[in-house]
Amino acid sequence: EAGVAQSPRYKIIEKRQSVAFWCNPISGHATLYWYQQILGQGPKLLIQFQNNGVVDDSQLPKDRFSAERLKGVDSTLKIQPAKLEDSAVYLCASSPSGGRRDTQYFGPGTRLTVL
Amino acid sequence: AQKITQTQPGMFVQEKEAVTLDCTYDTSDQSYGLFWYKQPSSGEMIFLIYQGSYDEQNATEGRYSLNFQKARKSANLVISASQLGDSAMYFCATQAGDNDMRFGAGTRLTVKP
């Protein structure tokens, strides 16, 4: 069974530019998550989708971050415009049903550097 | 609100020995789940083990076991017979109520040959 796929693996941009990340979850998984992991910290949830609907986006900085999950499968996360403090690893995860104690399976992440 | 504390920023262990990584949590929910993930230098978070708050027995998965002490709100990960490939960051996480999964700051484990 293929795991969670993410691209690109690395991205370097200058501040005020825009960037987009892509995630393809495990086939059949209804729930998709985007996390931000700043160096030296644990991941922090940005947004959670159940199929193609948003379940939780309370920690998403909506003035610059947006995400969508069209057709309930792939998802993209966009930052526009980027700030220096957005430098982090962006992790995508999926789980079968999004149940309260459902195991989440993570992709390899995208390491973003904002100069 | 949930809070996860991992007090050991870094740990060293000799190959083939056992090591315990500490995790304490704070939640007012009675029903919750505890998770441990491993993050090698490649960056991917790998699920290791899960413990439910109502599970009576400590969880085990191969060389991994979870020392769950509910009254102390602690969920320590025990890795037996350490291998060089166990060198990585280890994160404890909890999910309670309708809250999202919260992670600790992690512990960096280094296995020495």
Largest CA distance in chain B: 43
Q: Which residues of B touch A56 (CB under 8 A)?
A: 100
Which residue of chain B is at minimal alpha-carbon distance from A10? B43
CB contact under 8 A, B101 and A104: yes
Segment A48-71, tens digit of pLDDT: 999 889 988 999 999 999 999 988
Q: What is the reported pLDDT for A100? A: 64
Q: Are B66 and B75 in contact (CB under 8 A)?
A: yes
**What would the two tokens of residue A40 be?**
């030296």
The more confident residue out of B30 and A1 is B30
CB-closest option in A40, A42, A109 to B103? A42
Determine the average pLDDT of the residues in A17-42.
Answer: 95
CB contact under 8 A, A106 and B44: yes
CB-closest option in A91, A103, A111 to B47? A103
CB contact under 8 A, B50 and A111: no
Q: What is the reported pLDDT for B46? A: 94
* Residue A66: other Cβ atoms inside 10 A: 16
**What would the two tokens of residue B113 be?**
């040959």
Q: What is the reported pLDDT for B56? A: 86
Assess whether pLDDT exceeds 90 at residue B43. no
Q: Are B23 and B48 in contact (CB under 8 A)?
A: no
Confidence of residue B35 (pLDDT cuts 50, 70, 90): very high
Comparing A18-27, A89-98, B9-18, the range with the smallest average pLDDT is A89-98
Give dist(CA A1, CA A7) in Å, integer: 19
Assess whether pLDDT exceeds 70 at residue B1. no
A65 to chain B, closest Cα gap in Å: 19
CB contact under 8 A, B44 and A109: yes
Environment class of B7 (CB within 10 Å of its CB; exposed 0-12, middle 13-18, buried 19+): exposed
Determine the average pLDDT of the residues in A70-87.
Answer: 94
For Cα atoms B42, A85, A31, give the angle at the middle one, nearest 5 degrees. Answer: 55
B78 to chain A, closest Cα gap in Å: 20
Assess whether pLDDT exceeds 80 at residue B2. no
Q: Which of the 8 DSSP states describes residue B86?
A: G
Query: B37-67: b or e for each residue (b if 16 or more CB lie within 10 Å)?
Result: bbbeeebbbebbbbbebeeeeebeeeebbbb
